[in-house]
Structure 1
Amino acid sequence: MGLYRLSVPALFTALIVGITLAPESAQSQRRITGRVTAEETGEPVPGVAISVVNTPFGALTNDNGGFSVVLPEGAQSLLVRRIGYKRRIIPVEAAQSEVNVPLQRDALQLEAQIITGAATTIARRNAANDVAQVTSDQIANVQAPSLENALSGRIAGAQVIANSGAPGGGNQVRLRGVTSVFGSSDPLYVIDGVIVSNDAIQPGINAISAANRNTSNSTNQDNGVNRIADINPNDIERIDVLKGASASAIYGSKASNGVIIITTKTGRSRSTGGTGISVIQRFGTRDLSGKFGHRRFTLDEARAYGANVGLTQAEVDANFNSCGGFCDHEEELFGERPVSFETNISVRGGSEATNYFASLLNLYDGGIQRNTGYRKQSVRLNVNHTVNDKLSLQFNNNLIRTLTRRGISNNDNSGITPYFIFAGTPSWFDVRPEGSVYPATPVLGSNPLQNADFIQTPEEVYRLISSASASYGLYTSQRHSLQLKLDGGVDRYNQQVNVVSPRFLLFEGNDGLPGTVTSLSGNVLNANANFSAVHNYYPASGTFSATTSAGVQREINMLRSANVVTRDVLLGQENVNRGAATEVFADRQEIRGLALFAQEEVLAFQERLLATAGVRLERSTVNGDIDKFYAFPKGSLSYRWENPFSSVDEFKTRIAVGQSGNQPLYIQKYTPALGSTYDGQNALQSGLISGNPDIKPERQTEVEGGFDATLLSGRASLSFTLYQKTIDDVIFHIVTAPSQGFQVDIENGGSIHNRGVEIFLTATPYQTPSFSWLGRMTFARNVGVVTGLPSGVTAFNAERDATGQRVAFGPGYGIGRLEVGERVTQIIGSGCDGACLERRGDSAPDFTLGIGNDFTWKGFRLSALFDWQHGGDLVNVTHNVYDAFGTAPDREDGGAGRARENDVVGNAQYIYDASFVKLRELAVGYELPTSLTSRLFFGAARSARVEVS
């Protein structure tokens, strides 16, 4: 295949030799010194970047705010900037040797650097894309169940959807609408340059839940944990979100769903603050936020119901009286309030040559359901070392261990999921045990408290994420600089799950083989290596500067999993070799890829104009043609006007266009072989899915335009973005006629069209030396439409997932339907008394709105974040199950909860409005006075804060 025999491209050699040998006229230089201070207080500001305009020369201020920088002879200009302060350009006369610079604070973070290429960044004020950024203080403001929760309400165009409320994570992130139907829907996650895995290896609960009756192996209904939840939010410096192809094209065929780039914290030298130790200690509890409710029976109604399910009047009366006619089953199972805690200790420090960041995390998140919880331990060490003025090295290492006990939830067909049992159990029936004896529920038999007490679902993960980079300044002059960079990393984890369901459980004998034990082991390896060169050019005219970058990337992804399911296991045994019937399932995947990339950025007219063009060429073994390179180009343009109108400090217009892709899933290329026997011999037979040997990546083309404005002397900023993106070569799973021998055929050929608008407003409405108010608002609306289906394919219902398994109950409840000219998120249902299909709803919201406010007064701080989703629909099968058993909560109009709506043909009873307003975060804190802190900690602490959230 030649995937690993590519040498460094000739363009690097030509670039290196050409720049190194280029004649450069000798020019004399001089040195200027100075000091940078905060304008409000006069205190020194360390870590300020001082650069000589239109040259590669620069320096950083030390702990006293001082700096010394080399600059050419003659009059020059210094660009002075630091995140959190407003930039300044200071003219320096030819004879001047000293300069002092006061800086104003900037709550809007306009000097933040935005990622624009595989090896380059640009200041937010110049960026031609709407790249969202979340900073460390926002991420760790309150304790969140998972990292993705920190994005909710903060990123315009981002939807974070929780799969369940079980501890340990399990979220889906969608950026700018639906971009794939049967492909991957997750954004690409990159941590310190390492492309990390967010795969959820399903834990194997299906062996006892039978959610998918066709197999005992794990399925996507097992309520698995997505692995980005492993990351410690306290380690993160910032998160950059590339939401569309115009920005994410630099990541090629994995970036159609967006890219989330995570940068972790680094150390600091003595000149930028010295060594500091931070300790965070949190305690808290979690509560059931809302209950579904249950029908309340009179004694006569209870007796009638009991007679219908085979209970005697004496049994009904005994249960009815045991808890006063109403047993709160939800409270009994989900009423746990264990103490959760988080301890995070970090150290930042170093010398002028070497700095480090180290952290330790110990976290326990107690579940509200019996015997559930989540533990995480994490160790991180990041080291930066400057060997000399040309070579710098960086090493980041993170070792993580998690242990998750999520219990049983989601769908099932064996009657063990709590809400299925609740629906089939009248509220007067007491499920609590008498001694060690758990009563069988009258309809399903299974007891939710017994299941919670004795079913074990421990999921343990050990994970290592390591990255290393070396940057070498090969050549630097007044007009040119050439930097080479080599970086790479590894993300590797092992996941072990052992499900134990003892044979004495009430439901275990239903299959004739009581007692189930599973042993699932999964191993994932992601590794990538990159080599890049970055050339900066500063012409003597000073009219522009140009940054040229190019590089090559290699990547490998491997997954190995094995699941052993054993039934009829002896009492007290937990090993898979102690049963009478054993099944073994295994999965092996390996994907290798190679990519070349190049990009040109030009800043002109005093850094007001930014023009960018780039392309990524990529091939992968997951494609049908493993040797074909697919091109993903991009281009963008932005221009800033200074003080164009009254009260408008800066106004920037921008437009960007780009393409990115979505790789096929590993299984979609192949026709799977299933184990079988023939004439008494071991044999293979074709599976139900017909793979596509010519499959190729889905391709997204996006055009994005808008403006950014800085208003009211830097007290407000407004970002407005319109985008339009078309996804072509969409992969569809087509249900075929049984006569073809397959159930599903996989084809490229469809198209989806998305249009949307996003608004982001940040402002400091009121600010004094002792009080500040910082407000943020995000707004997003997206509409996605199916614009094409594969040739010869008519509209069809989305009943099967990427593996061919049925995942929907049919149009009677409401189901997605793919139809040209209709919303890709439409929900259709039975109409015309079951004789036709009608549109019943749409799973996508009309819009989302996030509002956050931070108030500080002296040492006090109050912050709140609201998240509003307007519109969108969901299918509530749980309500239907309650109705089917006649146990749904009583209605407001006085009607009793019973099977009154259990007719799914010709109505939309179970399609519900999914609108909500959530208070995502609320925190009140107080920073203790310095004198008190010093006394409490015997002079060993500089600051301390107490907070309730």
Structure 2
Amino acid sequence: MRNYYPLAGIIMMLLMLPQALFGQTTVRGTVTDASSGNTLPGVSVVVVGTTVGTTTDGTGSYTIQLPETTGKLQFSFLGYESRTYDVTAATTTLNVRLQEKITSLSEVVVTGLATTVKRANAANAVATINSKEISGITTPQTMDAAISGKLVGANVVSNSGAPGGGIAIKLRGITSVFGEAQPLYVVDGVILDNSSISAGLNAVTAAAAGGNPSSNQDNASNRIADLNPDDIESIEVLKGASAAAIYGSLASAGVVIITTKRGATGKTQVNFAQDIGVATVSNLLGVRTFTEERVRDTYGASAVPLFLEAQRTGQIFDYEEELYGNNGMLYNTRLNVSGGNERTRFFVGGLLQDEEGIVKHTGYNKKSLRFNLDHTLSDRFDFSLSTNYINSSADRGLTNNDNAGVSYGVSLSSTPSFAYLFPDEFGVYPDNPFAASNFLQTRDLVTNNESNDRFLGGLTINAMLYETDMSTTKLVLRSGIDFYNLRTRAIFPNTLQFQSEGRGTGGASIQGNNYNLNTNFAAFLVNNLSVSDNSLNFTTTIGATRENFNQDQVLNVATKLIGNQTNLDQAGAVEVNQNRIKERNKGLFFQEEMNYRDRIIATAGLRLDKSSNNADVNDFEAFPKFSLAVNLGNFDFWQWESINLFKLRAAYGESGGFPPFGAKYSSLVAFNTGGQAGLLPFTQRGNENIQQERQKELEGGLDVSVLDSKVIFEGTIYQKTVSDLILIQNLPQSSGYLTQAVNGGELRNRGIELAVTVRPVETDFLKWESRTSYWVNRSEMTELDIPPFALGGFGNTLGTFFIEEGESVTQIKGIKGDEGVQKLGDAAPDFQMNFHNFLTIKNNLSFSFLFHWKKGGDNINLTQLLTDLGGTSPDYDDDDDGDGETNAEERVGALGVTAEPFVQNASYLRLREIGLYYTIPATALQSVFGTVVRDARIGVSANNLFTITDYDSYDPEVSNFGGNGLSTGVEVTPFPASRRMFFHLAIGF
């Protein structure tokens, strides 16, 4: 008898098919990034409560069939917040936008020159900042401003508030006294030059003629400011030698790795954003209220008639408000286009930035164009191209240190409110009888401009050489170029009060041309080997690098200008200075990484470097690194399900610091006697045995994640020792030289870094993520082989940095009455904290803010002393302690007796950023624009909205002498900081 059961089963299935189809719902849609609008391939789409699921394709699209007519769809993707939606029989299309997680243990961080690792497996403490934190809250003027207050383990200080940026960053304390103290910047594999190049203002201000020997007091900006913050996808900071050892001697002060935005597979996306804002001065000191008696006591009887006439005619002016009270308009326009397919992806980003300063005739203008391309040639070959052209112009005014009394602030400090400084109907300014310059005339007639054209280009080629189920070997080739032409132009007409005949140089035209060309090349072989059913993985990297640095700086100072001419050849005297720097570095690199089931992750590496700056150019310096991470939460014995990560980690590494360029040579300088030109030895003798500085750092840490990453704790302790410290030693005059660079000391930094990230609320209505960080660093000069010496500041009378064995490297010393020279303070903070919060209401309304608290850390404040000496301090006549002596009399009376009043606590609590944005619902957009407009967002934001501090000047965050050495926290009438407020509009097509 024949068996008909199979046929019957088929017939029953066919009969039930219509009923089954009737009881199902098919949903289609596209998943995109909520911030950028880029499509997201590989997103998991699952029917909640079932095993039914799918993933989005290369264009971010998906199609899924629910077993029932209603249900819930859950969308999840690595690094993004999961979303769940209700689905009914009427739901046929569901487009989803996923929000990126602010903190994710699954994000990828750098472990080598050609390898990465999940953050959950990293053995080093790597600070990361994503695009939302960089430019997603408010619009920073420059990239350096975008990271202020956000880097755990860093001390970030603004050189001044002048347009165009300028900051000093120190990662985990001081790493060098006379060497490079700023971190290395790498953008898409391109080593970036971050020089601060003097505009030559010292020829007029005589800034370097005072007690501070710093060669750069011209308030120059850093070249890292050229980058467009909106182009940046993420920033990783390798703070210590254990992480930065992969870059060898270039990493003496840490490494900042910047990754820019790239295209994604899917429909071409067009994003337009317009920001309109205003900049106002954050804080004004105020002005002194004068009476006839106060005028007579301060300026003498001859000034009384001038005061009485000004009082009678109502011509009492608030010159501080007049000088710093401009409301600068801020315009920032951005247009990004991105897209691609499975083989080719592109990103094009454009920026037009036009910002006015809080001082008239100052401002910042930048144009930037970026083109990034990724292309897959075949299954074995692909490449990535990154290019960026920037044109910028910064009018920075005339501020900061000045020993000639001609800058805005110094001349303002001695000018009372009853002086008349405005021009007449013919545009002629009166002389300022109380100062060397009429600062309104200086503001209106002086030019101090930095203009720059820059090109950055990087190319990475990946070639798969060998591939099996167990092993792959690929070749990575990388090259980069950084070229810029920076032009500085400072014009001081001879009509200025301080440049007129008999008072100055008869006018000055100071023009600089600076050419910089950096190239870097690298080649790596990377092998991945998996054994024991992929439970044990090895990654082996071997490679070579080469870096070439070429800088040619020409500075021309023309004085005794003819009439109103500004050409260099239209002057009575011309001085030419040229400084050329060439460096050639070569490196070899080996690294082995081992991962056992994400439980034990170990890394060992070795970097070999040689450089033209070394005493022996053929000598390789070796820099090893070791690290170990143990994820106890991944072991089978782990029983606490609520703790999904419990990682212990330890790392050790070494890095170097090149000797300063030319330190091994005895230089020659030109001289002229009786018309005969010749060369003379420079005052510093070369040291043919000079060695690199060497850092050795040991760090340990604990990372804990609780309740599916709702609470994440990260803690790190470290000790970093810098030996063979390069110092400048005084020589006996009988040697024929004054100084010599020597290896003469050792310093140590110890610190703690703590961070807690929590998601206290995570519902469909409200999502709240909060991160609190704490960090502290203590330095000590553990050895000093030369006599103690002062460095920076204004000498013992006003306070100076002092290097001596057994003390903090950043201590400030000065006279203290009968006690003699004593320690009066320290520029290093007691600790720093930040409090970063992101709140989202119903996926449409977002609110974010960042508080930054710096406790302790002292500044040498000369601004207050200058206003006291000039008789203009706002509290000049107050008597806070009620002893019958005014505040100003007490401070001025301390001059020469004690430096205590001038070394001041610079603690502050600052609301660095705050932003409120509303994303217009898609249904509302479709009803008006159809499918043309993809999304739209409006918002308001502010930067530096308020600062709480007891510091007695414009801003406690100041570093007038630049940031490469120890002289941070020194203030002489800086360009005040500004408060920036914006309205934002962003539209996606």
TM-score by length of 1: 0.87
C-alpha distance in 1, partners of 2:787/2:220?
34
| Alignment match, 2:543 | 551
Deviation at 1:744, TM superposition (A): 2.3
User: Kindly tell me: are residues 870 and 533 of structure 1, through their superposed partners in 2, closer, same or farther at Cα, counting changes over 3 Å?
Assistant: same
C-alpha distance in 2, partners of 1:747/1:218?
19
Asked whether the equivalents of residues 655 and 705 of structure 1 are also in contact (C-alpha less than 8 Å), the reply is: yes
Q: Classify the secondary structure of the residue corresponding to 1:561.
A: strand
| Alignment match, 1:886 | 871
Deviation at 1:736, TM superposition (A): 3.3
| Alignment match, 1:607 | 598
| Alignment match, 2:92 | none
After TM superposition, the structure 1 stretch with the greater mean CA deviation from structure 2, 474-483 or 434-443, is 434-443
Asked whether the equivalents of residues 157 and 780 of structure 1 are also in contact (C-alpha less than 8 Å), the reply is: yes
Deviation at 1:729, TM superposition (A): 0.8
Q: Classify the secondary structure of the residue corresponding to 1:409.
A: coil
Deviation at 1:322, TM superposition (A): 4.5
Say yes or no: does 1:163 pair with 2:159: yes
C-alpha distance in 2, partners of 1:815/1:46?
56
Q: In the TM superposition, what whole-angstrom CA distance separates every residue of 1:63-82 from its partner, at most 9, and x where no partner exists?
A: 35679xxxxxxxxxxxx972
| Alignment match, 2:690 | 695
| Alignment match, 1:658 | 653
| 1:620 alignment partner, one of 611, 624, 640 | 611
Percent identity, aligned pairs only, is: 36
Say yes or no: does 1:479 pair with 2:470: yes
C-alpha distance in 1, partners of 2:214/2:148?
30
User: Kindly tell me: are residues 487 and 104 of structure 1, through their superposed partners in 2, closer, same or farther at Cα, counting changes over 3 Å?
Assistant: closer
| 2:578 alignment partner, one of 583, 586, 593 | 586
| Alignment match, 2:283 | 290
Asked whether the equivalents of residues 658 and 701 of structure 1 are also in contact (C-alpha less than 8 Å), the reply is: yes
After TM superposition, the structure 1 stretch with the greater mean CA deviation from structure 2, 204-213 or 705-714, is 204-213
C-alpha distance in 2, partners of 1:209/1:107?
47
Say yes or no: does 1:851 pair with 2:835: yes
Asked whether the equivalents of residues 358 and 382 of structure 1 are also in contact (C-alpha less than 8 Å), the reply is: yes
| 1:391 alignment partner, one of 370, 378, 381 | 381
Q: In the TM superposition, what whole-angstrom CA distance separates every residue of 1:642-687 from its partner, at most 9, and x where no partner exists?
A: 2554632210010000001122221433333221124641111122
| Alignment match, 1:55 | none
Q: In the TM superposition, what whole-angstrom CA distance separates every residue of 1:152-182 from its partner, at most 9, and x where no partner exists?
A: 3322111211000100001111111111111
User: Kindly tell me: are residues 192 and 60 of structure 1, through their superposed partners in 2, closer, same or farther at Cα, counting changes over 3 Å?
Assistant: farther
| Alignment match, 1:677 | 672
| Alignment match, 1:144 | 140
Say yes or no: does 1:530 pair with 2:515: no
| Alignment match, 1:182 | 178
| Alignment match, 1:920 | 912
After TM superposition, the structure 1 stretch with the greater mean CA deviation from structure 2, 912-921 or 497-506, is 497-506
C-alpha distance in 1, partners of 2:185/2:895?
41
Deviation at 1:437, TM superposition (A): 3.0
> Which residue identity is paired with 2:920?
L
User: Kindly tell me: are residues 751 and 620 of structure 1, through their superposed partners in 2, closer, same or farther at Cα, counting changes over 3 Å?
Assistant: same
What is the number of equivalent residue pairs in this alignment? 862
Asked whether the equivalents of residues 303 and 316 of structure 1 are also in contact (C-alpha less than 8 Å), the reply is: no
User: Kindly tell me: are residues 376 and 306 of structure 1, through their superposed partners in 2, closer, same or farther at Cα, counting changes over 3 Å?
Assistant: same
Asked whether the equivalents of residues 58 and 341 of structure 2 are also in contact (C-alpha less than 8 Å), the reply is: no
C-alpha distance in 2, partners of 1:745/1:293?
47
User: Kindly tell me: are residues 892 and 214 of structure 1, through their superposed partners in 2, closer, same or farther at Cα, counting changes over 3 Å?
Assistant: closer
C-alpha distance in 1, partners of 2:761/2:31?
20
Say yes or no: does 1:904 pair with 2:895: yes
> Which residue identity is paired with 1:843?
A
**Gaps (5+ residues) in structure 1?**
1-34, 51-58, 68-79, 88-102, 799-806
Asked whether the equivalents of residues 250 and 656 of structure 2 are also in contact (C-alpha less than 8 Å), the reply is: yes
Asked whether the equivalents of residues 392 and 451 of structure 2 are also in contact (C-alpha less than 8 Å), the reply is: yes
Asked whether the equivalents of residues 451 and 487 of structure 2 are also in contact (C-alpha less than 8 Å), the reply is: yes
C-alpha distance in 2, partners of 1:178/1:423?
33
C-alpha distance in 1, partners of 2:764/2:419?
63
Q: Classify the secondary structure of the residue corresponding to 2:473.
A: strand
Q: Classify the secondary structure of the residue corresponding to 1:900.
A: helix
Asked whether the equivalents of residues 204 and 219 of structure 1 are also in contact (C-alpha less than 8 Å), the reply is: no
Say yes or no: does 1:814 pair with 2:799: yes
| Alignment match, 2:430 | 439
Deviation at 1:47, TM superposition (A): 2.9
User: Kindly tell me: are residues 714 and 38 of structure 1, through their superposed partners in 2, closer, same or farther at Cα, counting changes over 3 Å?
Assistant: farther
> Which residue identity is paired with 1:252?
G
| 2:847 alignment partner, one of 846, 862, 869 | 862
Asked whether the equivalents of residues 85 and 111 of structure 1 are also in contact (C-alpha less than 8 Å), the reply is: no
> Which residue identity is paired with 1:338?
G
TM-score by length of 2: 0.84
User: Kindly tell me: are residues 323 and 864 of structure 1, through their superposed partners in 2, closer, same or farther at Cα, counting changes over 3 Å?
Assistant: farther
User: Kindly tell me: are residues 250 and 223 of structure 1, through their superposed partners in 2, closer, same or farther at Cα, counting changes over 3 Å?
Assistant: same
C-alpha distance in 1, partners of 2:715/2:537?
28
After TM superposition, the structure 1 stretch with the greater mean CA deviation from structure 2, 686-695 or 780-789, is 686-695
Query: What is the 5 A alignment of 1:835-850?
Result: 836-850=820-834
C-alpha distance in 1, partners of 2:378/2:758?
42
**Gaps (5+ residues) in structure 2?**
1-27, 45-54, 64-75, 84-97, 942-989
Asked whether the equivalents of residues 406 and 436 of structure 2 are also in contact (C-alpha less than 8 Å), the reply is: no
| Alignment match, 1:47 | 41
C-alpha distance in 2, partners of 1:507/1:938?
65
| Alignment match, 2:72 | none
Q: In the TM superposition, what whole-angstrom CA distance separates every residue of 1:183-209 from its partner, at most 9, and x where no partner exists?
A: 111000000001110001111222221
- Structure number with the bigger relative contact order (C-alpha 8 A, sep ≥ 6) is 2
Deviation at 1:427, TM superposition (A): 2.8
User: Kindly tell me: are residues 538 and 286 of structure 1, through their superposed partners in 2, closer, same or farther at Cα, counting changes over 3 Å?
Assistant: same
| Alignment match, 2:198 | 202
Deviation at 1:899, TM superposition (A): 4.3
C-alpha distance in 2, partners of 1:242/1:635?
15
> Which residue identity is paired with 1:398?
N
After TM superposition, the structure 1 stretch with the greater mean CA deviation from structure 2, 288-297 or 120-129, is 288-297
C-alpha distance in 2, partners of 1:608/1:926?
43
C-alpha distance in 2, partners of 1:553/1:378?
29
Query: What is the 5 A alignment of 1:222-233?
Result: 222-233=218-229
| Alignment match, 2:263 | 267
User: Kindly tell me: are residues 937 and 45 of structure 1, through their superposed partners in 2, closer, same or farther at Cα, counting changes over 3 Å?
Assistant: closer
Deviation at 1:500, TM superposition (A): 1.0
Q: In the TM superposition, what whole-angstrom CA distance separates every residue of 1:767-794 from its partner, at most 9, and x where no partner exists?
A: 111210010111101100000112xx22
Say yes or no: does 1:943 pair with 2:935: yes
Asked whether the equivalents of residues 831 and 905 of structure 1 are also in contact (C-alpha less than 8 Å), the reply is: no
| Alignment match, 1:830 | 815
> Which residue identity is paired with 1:779?
Y
Say yes or no: does 1:766 pair with 2:761: yes
Say yes or no: does 1:568 pair with 2:564: no
Say yes or no: does 1:495 pair with 2:486: yes
| Alignment match, 1:460 | 451
Deviation at 1:926, TM superposition (A): 0.6
After TM superposition, the structure 1 stretch with the greater mean CA deviation from structure 2, 509-518 or 474-483, is 509-518
> Which residue identity is paired with 1:282?
D
User: Kindly tell me: are residues 506 and 476 of structure 1, through their superposed partners in 2, closer, same or farther at Cα, counting changes over 3 Å?
Assistant: same
Asked whether the equivalents of residues 79 and 100 of structure 2 are also in contact (C-alpha less than 8 Å), the reply is: no
Deviation at 1:849, TM superposition (A): 0.2
User: Kindly tell me: are residues 597 and 61 of structure 1, through their superposed partners in 2, closer, same or farther at Cα, counting changes over 3 Å?
Assistant: farther
> Which residue identity is paired with 1:502?
P
Deviation at 1:84, TM superposition (A): 2.2
Q: In the TM superposition, what whole-angstrom CA distance separates every residue of 1:335-361 from its partner, at most 9, and x where no partner exists?
A: 111311000100110121111000110
Deviation at 1:811, TM superposition (A): 1.1
Q: Classify the secondary structure of the residue corresponding to 1:368.
A: coil
Q: In the TM superposition, what whole-angstrom CA distance separates every residue of 1:273-327 from its partner, at most 9, and x where no partner exists?
A: x21111111000111111123322112322443436x54x432322344546x52
User: Kindly tell me: are residues 456 and 940 of structure 1, through their superposed partners in 2, closer, same or farther at Cα, counting changes over 3 Å?
Assistant: same
Asked whether the equivalents of residues 205 and 218 of structure 1 are also in contact (C-alpha less than 8 Å), the reply is: no
Q: Classify the secondary structure of the residue corresponding to 1:139.
A: helix
> Which residue identity is paired with 1:918?
R
| 1:409 alignment partner, one of 377, 399, 402 | 399
C-alpha distance in 2, partners of 1:941/1:430?
57
